[in-house]
Every structure is written in structure tokens, then in C-alpha cells.
Amino acid sequence: MKLQPVYIIEELEQLKTISDPLRAKVLLYLIEKAYTGQQLAKLLGMARAKVHYHLNELEKHGLISVVRTELKNGILQKFYRAVARGFVPSEKLLPYVSEVENYYRERTLSVLGRARRRAINAPEEAFQIPSSDRTQWPIIMTQVEVKMSKEKYAEWLRKFRALIFELDASQEENGEWFYLTTVGFQTNEPSFDPVVEEKER
């Protein structure tokens, strides 16, 4: 099944459905690949009945679908998958500030949690560096705080997204797999003390 790039959320109930912290986690897993309720319950460390309840809610609102079934030990297992790689509220839902905020906050936390698990399970070679020259490293770890106008920041993000699309379009069939995740958002105050360079005497 080929996922849509983006699914536009048109109904408030859909937005409320994926603003739930657990459903946000489930949806993130189902964006990556198809899982059964039993597999998700094991990944999340939760009771199958609870996971199936949330799967039913996501399916009822058209956010996931059954992509295949398998008969195992006389039991029909359903494999679920998200209908898109990304979910974006429509313009008409933007006035529902609280729901939109909750959705993106939970989505950000889910992405960070998933990145942590991916790092834990990555092969040893993923964190081996070939030299002290960071431009040659196959890994990137960075935190940056910048102070600028929202307009200038939005313009930079447009350029960054273009690079991500370029990266996605340049995949090679016989290449290695790499994982890249990124989050960025407005903050109240800086966490890092400013670096003050000493002036030459």
C-alpha cells in the first residue's frame, strides 16, 4: 500500500481522535509499517483490548485502514496502516486552537520518543566515526537556538523542507539505510547561555 504524502484533517472529531497521546504513538508506528493489534500491544506494553479500542477509533475516523489479513492458528489477524505519511488540520479547523496545539505537541513528543527507540536499536556501526572531521561523520546531533522574526524563521524552514524533499528523492536502490528526524518550535526563553568570545588584546 502506497501512503498519501499528506492527509488533510477536515473534521474536528478526527483532530480530537489523533490528539490523544496514545493514538498519536499508534499512528506514528502505523505510518512506518503495518502492524496487528497484538504486535502494537507488545510494542507499547499495553493490553490488547485497550490497543484495539484505539485502533477502532482511528479506523472509524478514516485515519488508518486494514491493508491485509492473515489467518494464524484459526484466528484472522488484521494488519493496520496509516492512510498517509503526514496529517495536517484544514484551514477551517485552525480556530480550534487548543485541539490543534494538542495534536502537534503530542505528535512532536511521539516523534522524539520514536527517535530515541530507533537510536537504542541502531547497529553499533551507526555511531562509529571515521575521523575527527565532523563533515565526514555519518551521524548528526545538533541543538540550535536562534532569535529572529517568525517570517525569517518560516522562510528558512521552507528551504530546509526543500532539502528534505531532495534527500527523499535521491534514494539509491543498493544504498544503506539512514534515519533522520527533526523537530523545531518556538520557545519561551533560551536554554543555553550565550557564548561570549574573548576579544584579542
* pLDDT exceeds cutoff 90 at 80: yes
Answer whether residue 80 is part of any domain: yes
Q: Is residue 85 part of a domain?
A: yes
Burial class of residue 124 (count of CB atoms within 10 Å of its CB; 0-12, 13-18, 19+): exposed
Determine, yes or no, domain membership for 1. no
Q: For the segment 101-155, what is each residue's pLDDT rounded down to a tens digit?
A: 998 998 899 889 889 989 999 999 999 988 888 888 889 888 899 999 999 999 9
Q: What is the pLDDT of residues 155-196, one digit of tens each?
A: 999 999 999 999 989 999 999 999 999 999 999 988 887 665
Is 94 domain-assigned?
yes
Give the pLDDT confidence of 16-59 residue by residue, as tens digits: 999 898 999 999 999 999 999 999 999 999 999 999 999 999 99
Structural domain that includes position 64: 7-130
* Structural domain includes residue 197: no
Strand 75-82 relative to strand 64-72: parallel, antiparallel, unpaired? antiparallel
The count of structural domains within the chain is: 1
Question: For residue 90, is pLDDT > 80?
Answer: yes
pTM given for the model: 0.76
Q: What is the mean pLDDT of residues 79-84?
A: 96
Provide the CATH number for the domain around residue 50: 1.10.10.10
Please report whether residue 12 resides in a domain.
Answer: yes
In a domain, 62, yes or no: yes
Closest C-alpha to 112, from 101, 102, 104:
104
pLDDT of res. 10: 94
- The answer to whether residue 29 is domain-embedded is yes
